[in-house]
Structure 1
Amino acid sequence: MATKQTTHYEAPDNAARAVQAVADHQAEADDMLGEKMVLNMGPSHPATHGVLRLILELDGEVISKATPDVGFLHRGDEKIAENMQYNQFVPYTDRLDYLAPLANNVAYACAVEKLMGWELPERGQAVRVIACELARISSHMLGVGVCAMDVGAMTVFLYTFNEREKIYNLCEQLTGARFTTSYTRIGGQTRDLPDGFIEQLTTFLDECEPLVEEVATLLDKNKIFMNRMCDIGHISKEDAISYGLTGPNLRASGVARDLRKDNPYLGYEQYDFDVPIADEGDCYARYQIRLEEIRQSIRILRQAIVSLPDGPINIIDPKSTLPEKERVLMSMEELIHHFIVTTQGIDAPKGEVYFGHENPKGELGFYIHSKGGGVPHRLKIRSPSFINLSICPELLKGTMVSDVPAILGSLDFVMGECDR
C-alpha cells in the first residue's frame, strides 16, 4: 500500500527577519550620522618626536584604527655600509639613535670585533662601559623629560635637559664632539680618557643623583601626571614578547631581559646592578623603568670609576690598527703602514656574525656577512625603535586622541634609528 509523503519545511521566522531589518537600518543610519574621520598626526608634529606620520581613523575622539607611516628619514645606511670600509661606517652609526651616539658606536665596533675574534684590553672595555652608561643616562633624561612635557609637566623637561647638557660637556672632552661623537674604532677608541675627566664625571654623578630624586618627587605622585599615564597604553607580557619589544618597553611589561645580564659583554658581568621590571605595562610603568635605569647607570659608573684599570685601550695588532700619530710623522715605515691600513682597511675573515647591544631604546643589533677583505658583503641593522613602533596599531586602537602623546612619549623611539 502506497503511503503519501508530505514535504516538511520551516516557516519563515518573520520576527527574526524584522529584528535583523531594524538592526541593518540602525547600522546604516549610524554610518550616515557618524562617519569616521581620518586624521593625519605628523610627520611634523611635536607629539610624534620626529618625522613619524600616524594615520588615525577616528570615531568621535576614539581611535578605531592607527597606521604608522615611517621612512621619511630613510638614508640606506645598510647599503652605505656595504660600500665602505668597516671604520668608515662609524660616523654613520652616530645618526642612528642620535640621542645616544656613543652607544651606537660601541655596538657597531663590538659586532665587527666579534667577526675579527678580537677582545679589547680591560681598560678599553671599561672606557666603553663608561661611554655606554653616559649615553643611557642622556637618552633616558631626554625621554623622561619629553614624555613629561607631552602631558603638561614642563618643569621636569627643563631639569632633565640641563643634566643632559652636562653629559654633552663630558662627551666633548672625551671625543671632541658633543653630538656626533664617532668615538670608537674597530679594535678600540680614538683616544683615552682625558686628564681630569674622572673628576668631572664624579662631580656630574654627585649632581645627577639628587636631581633624579627631584624628578621622582615631581612626577611619581602627581595627580595630573598619573591620570594621563596610569592604565593608558597597556602592553601585556604576551604582546610585548610576540611583537619583539626590547629594552625598557619590554621590561615594563614584566620581562626581565637585559643583554648586559643575559649575554654579558665588555665585562658587564663584573658590575653589580639590578634590572628593573614592572608588571603593569602602562605608560606610567615605562616612565618608572627609565627613571630607575638612570639610577642603575649611575651605580655602574661609580663602580667603573673605582675599578678603572691601567693599560692600553686598544688591541695590539700592527696589521690592522693605526700606529700612533707621532710615530707616523717620524718614521717612513710607520707612514707606509698607516697608508695601507687607511686605504685597504682591516682584513676581515669570511663568516657571519650577529651582535646584540643593550642600547637605551632596546636591543640594537648588527648582522655582518663577510666574504673577506675590508668591506662587508652584507650588513643589516636591528633597530629597536622600528620594532617597538610595530605595536602602535594594536596599542592605539580604542584609545582617545588625547592619549596619543602620552603613549608615544612612553615608547621613547627615535626616527633616525627607525628609518635607518
Structure 2
Amino acid sequence: MQDIRSYSLNFGPQHPAAHGVLRLVLEMDGETVRRADPHVGLLHRGTEKLAESKPFNHSIGYMDRLDYVSMMCNEHAYVRAIENLLGIEVPERGQWIRTMFDEITRILNHLMWIGSNGLDLGAMAVMLYAFREREELMDVYEAVSGARMHAAYYRPGGVYRDLPDQMPKYRETPWHKGADLKRLNAWREGSMLDFLDAFADDFPHRVDEYETLLTDNRIWKQRTVGIGVVPPEKALAWGMTGPMLRASGVAWDLRKKQPYAKYAEVDFDIPVGVNGDCYDRYVVRVAEMRESARIIKQCVAKLRTLEGPVIVRDFKVAPPQREEMKRDMEALIHHFKLFTEGYVVPEGETYAAVEAPKGEFGCYLISDGANKPFRVKLRAPGFAHLSSMDEVVRGHMLSDVVAMIGTYDVVFGEIDR
C-alpha cells in the first residue's frame, strides 16, 4: 500500500521564493524533504553563443544581464580576459575606479540579498531599509554610466569615462520639499567622490539598523541557525566560492589570494564563518558590506589625489574623445570602425576571474585571431552552488528549502546563461 505521506512537489518555476525560473522537484515525506532535484534551463538565453557571434566589444552589455544584481563585476571578468589577450595595461586611475565600483556593486548585491532573503523568511521591514540605501548607490551607477542597472561602464583598457563632478539632485515634489528636500540633497552638493565619502561614513550605521532587526531576532535565528549546514570539505568538493565557502570557515577570496585591479593596495579583512549554516552566511554577507564601505573610503581618498586617464589611449580598442572627433577625421573613422567592426584580438586563450558578490565569476576566452571570440565560457558561482541543493536540504522541512535557496543568493541570469 502506498504511503499517503509520500508525494512529489513542484517548487517553482514561478514561485516567488525560487529567485528566478528554478523548478525544484521535491520528494516529500509529509513536511520533510527526502530528495531535491533542481531543474534548470527554463530561462536559457544562450549568452555564450551570442557572444561568439559578435565582435568582442558588442558583448559587454550581455555581461550585465547575467547576474543582473552584480553588473559591473561581470563586466570586469570579461574585459580582463580581453585585456589579457590584447596585452594592454589599464591606467592607474581606471584601476582605482574599477576597484571602487566593484565594491559598490558588492553592496548593491548584498542589499538586494538581505532584503529578499528577509522577505522569504517573513522579515518584511528589512527589505524597505535595504532599498533605501540601494537607491543611493543606483544613483551613482546612473550618474557614471547613464543606466541604473545595465551600465556597460567597464571597457577593455579602462572605463567608459571619468567620474562626474556633480551628482544629480532630488527635485521639489509634493512629497519632497523644504527641509526634507534639503536633507535629501545634503550629500549631493559636491562631486561623486564627496557623495561616496559621505555614504561610506554613514553606511555602517545603516548596517547596524539591519542587524538590530535580524541578528539577535529569535525568529530569524530559529529559521537560520543549524539550517543547511555545509562542512568546509563539502563546500570545496562542490566548487563553492564567495560567502558560501567563507561561511564554512574557508578564508578564500580572490581579492586577497589572486589580487587584481588595486586590491593589493587596499586594507580589508575577509569575514569567515564557523558553522557553515544559513545564519553564518547571513553574518558573513553583513560583515562584507562593512568591509566594502572601508574599501570605498580608501578608493575615494586615492582618487581625490590621482590624476590621469581612465582608459588607454589606443584608438584600436578605445574610442577617441568627442572633441577630437569633431576636429580630426581620422579619429572619427577610428570611432566608427571600433563600434562597427570592433578590433582583432591575437590568437590565444585565457581565463580571468573576479571575486563577484556571489563568488568566483570567471570568463574563459579563446581567440582565433578574428574580431569575435572563437569560444566564450563563463564560470558562474550560482551554478556550482545549486548542484549541492539535494544533499544539503535532505531531512529538512519544506520551509527550510526556502531559507536555503535564499542563502545561496541565486540569480538565474548567470545560472541559465
Q: So what's the TM-score if we normalise by structure 1?
A: 0.91
Which aligned pairs between 1:327-366 and structure 2 lie closer than 5 A? Answer: 327-366=324-363
Quote the residue 1:175 is aligned against: 145
Quick one: distance in 2 between partners of 1:282 and 1:320?
46
Quick one: distance in 2 between partners of 1:143 and 1:342?
36
- Residue 102 of structure 2 is aligned to residue 105 of structure 1: no
One-letter identity of the residue aligned with 2:32: V
Quote the residue 2:174 is aligned against: none
Q: Is the 8 A contact 1:235 1:395 kept in 2?
A: yes
Q: Is the 8 A contact 1:320 1:347 kept in 2?
A: no
**Unpaired runs of at least 5, structure 1:** 1-30
Q: Is the 8 A contact 2:200 2:294 kept in 1?
A: no
Quick one: distance in 2 between partners of 1:356 and 1:337?
30
Quick one: distance in 2 between partners of 1:397 and 1:115?
45
Quote the residue 2:405 is aligned against: 408
Which aligned pairs between 1:225-240 and structure 2 lie closer than 5 A? Answer: 225-240=220-235
Q: Is the 8 A contact 1:124 1:312 kept in 2?
A: yes
**Unpaired runs of at least 5, structure 2:** 166-190
Q: What's the offset of the Cα at 1:130?
A: 1.2
Which aligned pairs between 1:222-371 and structure 2 lie closer than 5 A? Answer: 222-308=217-303, 309-371=306-368
Quick one: distance in 1 between partners of 2:339 and 2:125?
48
Count of residues in Structure 1 that have an aligned counterpart in Structure 2: 390
Q: Is the 8 A contact 2:226 2:278 kept in 1?
A: yes
Quick one: distance in 2 between partners of 1:319 and 1:166?
36
Q: Is the 8 A contact 1:251 1:289 kept in 2?
A: yes
Quick one: distance in 2 between partners of 1:339 and 1:404?
51
Deviations 1:145-203 (A, max 9, x none): 21112111111111011111111111111111101111111112111100011111122
Q: Is the 8 A contact 2:107 2:289 kept in 1?
A: yes
One-letter identity of the residue aligned with 2:232: K
Quote the residue 2:38 is aligned against: 68
Q: Is the 8 A contact 1:106 1:184 kept in 2?
A: yes
Quick one: distance in 1 between partners of 2:141 and 2:79?
18
Quote the residue 2:100 is aligned against: 130
Q: Runs of 4 or more off by more than 4 Å in structure 1?
A: none
Quick one: distance in 2 between partners of 1:98 and 1:341?
26
Q: Is the 8 A contact 1:86 1:186 kept in 2?
A: no
Q: Which moved more, 1:340-349 or 1:193-202?
A: 340-349
Q: What's the offset of the Cα at 1:120?
A: 0.6
Larger radius of gyration: 1
Quick one: distance in 1 between partners of 2:244 and 2:269?
16
Quick one: distance in 2 between partners of 1:305 and 1:409?
32
Q: So what's the TM-score if we normalise by structure 2?
A: 0.91
Deviations 1:66-90 (A, max 9, x none): 0001111111000011111111001
Q: What's the offset of the Cα at 1:331?
A: 1.8
Quick one: distance in 2 between partners of 1:118 and 1:387?
31
Q: Which moved more, 1:120-129 or 1:104-113?
A: 104-113
Quote the residue 1:23 is aligned against: none
Cα RMSD of the aligned pairs, angstroms, is 1.1
Secondary structure (helix, strand or coil) at the match of 1:48 reads: coil
Quote the residue 2:172 is aligned against: none
Alignment match of 1:395 (pick from 392, 396, 415): 392
Q: What's the offset of the Cα at 1:339?
A: 2.5
Quote the residue 2:170 is aligned against: none
Q: What's the offset of the Cα at 1:333?
A: 1.6
One-letter identity of the residue aligned with 1:63: V
Quick one: distance in 1 between partners of 2:30 and 2:88?
58
Q: Is the 8 A contact 2:89 2:312 kept in 1?
A: yes
Quote the residue 1:163 is aligned against: 133
Deviations 1:388-414 (A, max 9, x none): 111101111111001111111111111
Q: Is the 8 A contact 2:64 2:150 kept in 1?
A: yes
Q: Is the 8 A contact 2:145 2:151 kept in 1?
A: yes
Quote the residue 1:85 is aligned against: 55
Q: Is the 8 A contact 2:250 2:272 kept in 1?
A: yes
Quote the residue 2:376 is aligned against: 379
One-letter identity of the residue aligned with 1:408: I
Q: Which moved more, 1:158-167 or 1:316-325?
A: 316-325
Q: What's the offset of the Cα at 1:35?
A: 5.0
Quick one: distance in 1 between partners of 2:317 and 2:146?
24
Quick one: distance in 1 between partners of 2:3 and 2:56?
60
> Percent same amino acid among aligned pairs?
46
One-letter identity of the residue aligned with 1:323: P
Q: Is the 8 A contact 1:233 1:396 kept in 2?
A: yes
Quote the residue 2:199 is aligned against: 204
